[in-house]
Amino acid sequence: MWPEVRFSQGFSADHLLVEVVQQLQIRRHQRLRQHARRGRTTACGPTATACEHGELSLTLHREVGFRVGEGYALDTLGHVELHSGRPARAVERYRQALELRRELGDTYEIANTLFGLGRALAVLDEPGRAREVWEAMDEPQLTRG
């Protein structure tokens, strides 16, 4: 059974479609990350598919101007790259996500991205830079009190 949908004045079907697509993309990114965490990705096979889907998602988010979704796509691609043995590529993706999330002021996701960036730097055997990134997670504007 579908829930009843009420349109407020000025609300369009196009707006509803964009909202639905955004929610589906967020859920898809969450599933991709879960698969990567469970070791279901490898250097070939599912990882290639995850990267292809991530790139497609990134393109779609950019086309519709959904910057939050763009941040999710970049962060997810960083996660996939890291768990696929490509930490240098992961660092680039995480940095792109971090820049975007800082522009948006999304403190929770900034901290999340900093964590991933630190892990990628640690894998690249750059413990000093990883520590600096992780210490940035303790900045007052990122901590919840």
Q: How confident is the model at residue 137 (pLDDT cuts 50, 70, 90)?
A: confident
Tell me whether residue 47 is in a domain.
Answer: yes
Identify the domain containing residue 47 by its residue range.
41-136
Render pLDDT for 21-62 as a digit per residue (tens, 0 to 9). Answer: 666 666 766 666 665 555 444 444 456 677 888 888 888 889
Render pLDDT for 77-108 as a digit per residue (tens, 0 to 9). Answer: 999 999 889 999 999 999 999 999 999 998 88
pLDDT for 68? 92
More confident residue, 145 or 52: 52
Q: How many domains does the chain have?
A: 1
Question: Residue 9 above 70 pLDDT?
Answer: no
Using an 8 Å Cβ cutoff, are 23 and 69 in contact?
A: no
Tell me whether residue 20 is in a domain.
Answer: no
Axis-axis angle for helices 13-37, 67-83 (nearest 10): 20
Tell me whether residue 56 is in a domain.
Answer: yes
Tell me whether residue 31 is in a domain.
Answer: no
Q: How confident is the model at residue 114 (pLDDT cuts 50, 70, 90)?
A: very high
Tell me whether residue 50 is in a domain.
Answer: yes
Tell me whether residue 49 is in a domain.
Answer: yes
Question: Residue 123 above 60 pLDDT?
Answer: yes
Kindly list the distances between the CA atom of residue 86 and the CA atoms of 18, 44, 91, in Å, as whole numbers in the listed order. Answer: 33, 12, 9
Q: Lowest-pLDDT range, 9-18, 104-113, 124-133?
A: 9-18
CA-to-CA distance for 7 and 139, rounded, in angstroms? Answer: 41
Flag whether the pTM goes above 0.85.
no
pLDDT for 139? 72
CATH number at residue 98: 1.25.40.10
Tell me whether residue 96 is in a domain.
Answer: yes
